[in-house]
Amino acid sequence: MAAAGASGWAAVCEKFRTARTLSAVESRKDPETEPYRSKYSARALLQEVKQLLSAAEEGDEPRLLAVRRAVLEYELGVNHTDTEELSAGEEHLQRCTQLLEPHRLSPDCVSLYIQAQNNLGILWSERDEIKTAQTYLESAEALYNQYMKEDGNPPLDPSEHFMSEEEKLTDQERSKRFEKAYTHTLYYLAQVYQHLEMIEKAAQYCHTTLKRQLEYCGYYPVEWALNAATLSQYYLSKQCFMESRHCLAAASVIFSQAGQVPSAEDNEMEQDQQDLRQRKAEIARCWIKYCLNLLQSARKLLEDNIGELDPDRQSELKAQRKKEEDEKENGRKKAVLFGTSDICDSVLAMEEKVSSVYPLDFQEAREIFLVGQNYVQEAKEFFQVDGYVTDHIEIVQDHSALFKVLAFFEEDYERRCKMHKRRIDMLEPLYTDLNPQYYLLISRQLQFELADTYYEMMDLKVAIGNRLEELDSHTIKKINSLAQLAIKYYELFLDSLRNPDKVFPEQLEEDVLRPAMVAKFHIARLYGKLITSDSKKQLENMQTSLEYYTFLVDYCEKYPDAVRAIETELELSKEMVGLLPTRMERLRAKLCPFI
Amino acid sequence: SVEGDAIKVYVRVRPPSEGTALMDGEQGLCLSVLSSNTIRLHSKPEPKIFTFDYVANMETTQESVFSSVAKNIVESCMNGYNGTIFAYGQTGSGKTFTMMGPSDSDNFTHSLRGVIPRSFEYLFFLIEREKEKAGSGKSFLCKCSFIEIYNEQIFDLLDSASAGLFLREHIKKGVFVDGAVEQVLASAAEAYQVLTMGWRNRRVASTSMNRESSRSHAVFTITVESMEKNNEVVNIRSSLLNLVDLAGSERQKDTHTEGLRLKEAGNINRSLSCLGQVITALVDVGNGKQRHICYRDSKLTFLLRDSLGGNAKTCIIANVHPGSRCFGETLSTLNFAQRAKLIKNKAVVNEDTQGNVS
């Protein structure tokens, strides 16, 4: 600084620093009526600095000057975009990158260049030009990678260009700020990819952002944990159980850090505690879904065409797994792992508590079931029915679903039946209390699930009965009463579709079409299964059954679009509509042999 | 019933404020109403046509807005349905005029009174009629509450001393604001009195605590309970009517109304919080797999969960200002309204019964 001298330079630095404080700190306190007051003052200061710089032009090293100018252009660019003057902001930012272009890979420029690119990305997204934003951000990403490969030393932070030697930052601080700027690049890219519906890529960038937040300690435990838990749900929908478990384990570990932070104020304390308990329960719910999905996916793999466990398939998969284990390291994903040594160990320990491979027999399924059930208890501690009806019932529904899928692995029919009874016992009282006027949707779900469970239990009792030489009256009574209960709930479900004048809709809406049709179909079958020694009663039941089958056939004739939703059921219904009248005829003939 | 559950969307165009009409002339308008259900937005290069259930032009009277929008909903409310009427639009687009009427009058008989006072009149008219018809066998109880949601916090407008309230659910009564004052109403005039008192609280709050009214949502709820005695059998029916004045749409940058812009991180640590929203969006498009999303409902959508695609009759009045300066906001309001039409009662039933057909 030949012209201004040392004291002049100190004044410049001071101005610059004031501008930054105004912009970052003071502006948050600006009144609503003048939201940009501090920003405008900061802008004026920056302009002054710019003037002082050009006055000092001669005698200074051109490169140094260019970089300092670039810093100012950057600050001005951000200032203008902050105050909604996008075009002016763009000009400044463009000038900044132009000045830096030749030096962008050098340690004193790289961070500034990346941040300018980040801001250009934001700017273009404000103009709804996501593609343009993407190019800036991706080039920032590439520059970071190139720099780290070729140099890798902690680069200068942009603010340092206006600092005296003794104020300059430590390498550690430099590196921290640089990495943060790059984390922001990734975070913006995550958003860009989401907007462009590049879902997989967006997820990957979210994942990396989370990982980097952890590495550079830029996170709030609760928020981080919730993000990780939510991300686990993304992996669930992709059937990536190992990744899903990793996210959840990390969420649980990081969350446990949150509870230890003492709250500042007493009256906020209770609210915070309440909030923490809710978050904990939310994470538990993510775990429940994890266990449930793992079990359900395993079931899909193992079941035969009538939904029973296929032993051939089972031994095949077991052999396959054995082989993979022998080949060792069964693909521990190279993917992104969270945490450095300490955290990583805790996360691994957490992961060990539940498997991430498909369970192939009852024993393995039971272990996952039990983990899921524990999380059900944990989630229910917070989401009690009093105050959290919807959440509570959803958790109980998950619990029921856990039993349902566990039952699939159970070979003993009696025990299987008992598992379904457990489902009834947890769902029925909730259903009875629930007011369908406010909870129509859940109410329907419960009706249907109760109906289905009774239906399943009846099927099991029939199967048990078939092994006996002769059906005893107790079994018959049991089968009939289960069938009646199933019919009752299916009918309740169908009734819920009626309008206030109790009329069943002429045409069913798409979202209830299949369930309604399945309900009709099952009722038809149930009437066919009712056991009675009274032939007249039997004839009546057949008649009812026929009516329900006929409904399906007629409906599909009238609305051919419906066929797609219930192909199998329709086929069987048609068959029954053909068969039943003959059977009834025969029965009638037996009843009145003289006619 | 096939179309019955979808949300009905009405658009109302206010007259340009006096100044702008003179300045900009006819050319200053960014839209024209083509018919009673279509509107054309003069966008470039191609104009855009939007179709809604009903479009009210600048000349449409308050009475006719009421009859086409609210009458039906109030009637269903008497039949045991829950009903909700929303007003949506940018600040200055005429939401308050549509819902309340001219701002300077507490006069409930004002000829320009809005949808809310007219709904009160109609509701109590129907109740009286019903009572006459049924004689002593039937009785009614009306209660109301009035709350404000600001910054995801709930305040009771009928009890300005109360602190933030919480939303809870009751297995019989649905979602409710825990601790909100409930006032019994005997007549439409009384209802209007409560409403204006609360409304004033809303404005008071805006100065004393530096809250701006257009940044908050206000929800006025009337519970109608009827009791019918029929041979010793007592039949109780209850339904809700929600009248909602949403915050100015330009303030709702956090909801789904915003465009493609990225969330900035700024300098502070807290900054990356919107990552959660990105992830939530990723999970939301999942393929029907069982999943749980940690971040969910806003207070408003939770409170009105029932109305947004539930067991209720709902309509949205989207208010727009025709001035060409408001083009951007008007477009976003119309886009929002267009999307709202697609909200429907999704009665997803857990049903996986393959294999049970044997």
* Cross-chain residue pair A130–B260, CB shorter than 8 Å: yes
Compute the average pLDDT of residues A553-558: 96
Q: Which structural domain, as residue segments, surrounds residue A541?
A: 516-594
- Cα separations in angstroms, B216 against A588, B150, B245, B252, B320: 72, 5, 9, 10, 19
Q: How far apart are CA A50 and CA A76, in angstroms?
A: 10
Higher-scoring residue by pLDDT: A45, B19 = A45
Give which of B329, B331, B334, B340 is closest to B90, Cα–Cα.
Answer: B329
Q: What is the mean pLDDT of chain A?
A: 90
Q: A427: pLDDT confidence band, cut at 50, 70 and 90?
A: very high
Q: How far apart are CA B56 and CA B319, in angstroms?
A: 10
Q: Find out whether B212 and A32 touch, Cβ atoms under 8 Å.
A: yes
Domain count, chain A: 1
Higher-scoring residue by pLDDT: B299, A339 = B299
Nearest chain A residue to B211 by CA distance is A32
Q: Which residues of B touch A440 (CB under 8 A)?
A: 310-311, 345, 347
Give the least confident one: A232-246, A310-324, B144-158, B340-354: B340-354
Taking only residues 95 to 124 of chain B, the set having a beta carbon closer than 8 angstroms to any beta carbon of chain A reads none
In the predicted structure, residue B156 carries a pLDDT above the cut 50: yes
B171: helix, strand or coil: coil
* Cross-chain residue pair A437–B239, CB shorter than 8 Å: yes
Residue type, A260: Q
Q: How far apart are CA B239 and CA A48, in angstroms?
A: 66
pLDDT tens digits for range A63-89: 888 999 999 999 999 999 888 888 899
Closest in B1, B295, B349 to A505, CB measured? B1
Q: How far is A106 from chain B (nearest CA, A)?
A: 24
| A377: in domain | no
Q: How far apart are CA A192 and CA B133, in angstroms?
A: 62
Report residue B306: phi and psi, to 5°: -65, -35
Report residue B145: phi and psi, to 5°: -140, 160
Percentage, residues of chain B above pLDDT 70: 77
Q: How far apart are CA A140 and CA A111, in angstroms?
A: 10
Contacting residues for B259 by C-beta, under 8 A, at least 6 apart: A128, B332
* Cross-chain residue pair A433–B80, CB shorter than 8 Å: no
Range picked from A360-374, B50-64, B172-186, B292-306 for highest mean pLDDT: A360-374
Q: Find out whether A314 and A302 touch, Cβ atoms under 8 Å.
A: yes
Q: A48: pLDDT confidence band, cut at 50, 70 and 90?
A: very high
Report residue B183: phi and psi, to 5°: -115, 135
Compute the average pLDDT of residues A264-279: 75
| A547: in domain | yes
H-state helical runs in A303-412: 311-326, 341-351, 362-382, 389-409
In the predicted structure, residue A208 carries a pLDDT above the cut 70: yes
In the predicted structure, residue B274 carries a pLDDT above the cut 90: no
Higher-scoring residue by pLDDT: A402, A35 = A402
B44: left (phi over 0), alpha (psi -120 to 50) or beta: beta
| A122: in domain | no
B170: helix, strand or coil: strand
H or E element that contains B50? strand B48-51
Q: Which residues of A touch B274 (CB under 8 A)?
A: 191
* Cross-chain residue pair B279–A514, CB shorter than 8 Å: no
* Cross-chain residue pair B261–A507, CB shorter than 8 Å: no
pLDDT (0 to 100) of residue A262: 54
Q: How far apart are CA B130 and CA B140, in angstroms?
A: 9
- Cα separations in angstroms, A5 against A9, A52, A92: 6, 12, 28
Choose from A438, A442, A520 for mutation: most chain B CBs within 10 A.
A438
| A487: in domain | no
Q: How far apart are CA B105 and CA A163, in angstroms?
A: 61
Q: Which residues of B touch A499 (CB under 8 A)?
A: 1, 4
Q: A592: pLDDT confidence band, cut at 50, 70 and 90?
A: confident
B318: helix, strand or coil: strand
B342 reaches A (C-beta below 8 A): no
pLDDT tens digits for range A543-552: 999 999 999 9
In the predicted structure, residue B257 carries a pLDDT above the cut 50: no
Report residue B110: phi and psi, to 5°: -55, 135
* Cross-chain residue pair B290–A293, CB shorter than 8 Å: yes
Q: Which residues of B touch A456 (CB under 8 A)?
A: 356
Higher-scoring residue by pLDDT: A198, A265 = A198
A507 reaches B (C-beta below 8 A): yes
pLDDT (0 to 100) of residue A363: 95
pLDDT (0 to 100) of residue B47: 87
H or E element that contains B312? strand B312-320
Q: How far apart are CA B271 and CA B275, in angstroms?
A: 9
A231 reaches B (C-beta below 8 A): yes
Q: How far apart are CA A576 and CA A180, in angstroms?
A: 69
Percentage, residues of chain A above pLDDT 70: 94
Residue given tokens 């239906």 in the structure block: A455
In the predicted structure, residue B32 carries a pLDDT above the cut 90: no
Nearest chain A residue to B82 by CA distance is A437
* Cross-chain residue pair B292–A286, CB shorter than 8 Å: yes
Higher-scoring residue by pLDDT: A416, B34 = A416
Give the least confident one: A151-160, A469-478, B205-214: B205-214
Q: How far is B109 from chain A (nearest CA, A)?
A: 34
B264 reaches A (C-beta below 8 A): yes
Q: B354: pLDDT confidence band, cut at 50, 70 and 90?
A: very low
Q: Find out whether A181 and A121 touch, Cβ atoms under 8 Å.
A: no
| A282: in domain | no
Closest in A229, A236, A493 to B294, CB measured? A229
**Cα four-point dihedral sign A232, A235, A236, A237:** positive
| A586: in domain | yes
Give which of A529, A533, A537, A544 is closest to A465, Cα–Cα.
Answer: A529
pLDDT (0 to 100) of residue B345: 47
Label the pairing between strands B8-13 and B54-56.
parallel
Q: How far apart are CA B256 and CA B237, in angstroms?
A: 36
Q: How far is A576 from chain B (nearest CA, A)?
A: 12
pLDDT tens digits for range A229-253: 999 999 999 999 999 999 999 999 9
Give the least confident one: A8-12, A116-120, B2-6, B140-144: B2-6
Q: How far apart are CA B97 and CA B14, in angstroms?
A: 9
| A239: in domain | no
pLDDT tens digits for range A22-40: 988 888 888 767 778 899 9
Give which of B119, B118, B140 is closest to B129, Cα–Cα.
Answer: B140
Nearest chain B residue to A239 by CA distance is B289
Q: How far is B339 from chain A (nearest CA, A)?
A: 17
Q: How far apart are CA A295 and CA A291, in angstroms?
A: 6
In the predicted structure, residue B121 carries a pLDDT above the cut 60: yes
Range picked from A221-225, A256-260, A290-294, B352-356 for highest mean pLDDT: A290-294
Q: Which residues of A touch B311 (CB under 8 A)?
A: 436-438, 440-441
**Cα four-point dihedral sign B64, B70, B72, B77:** negative
B354 reaches A (C-beta below 8 A): yes
| A521: in domain | yes
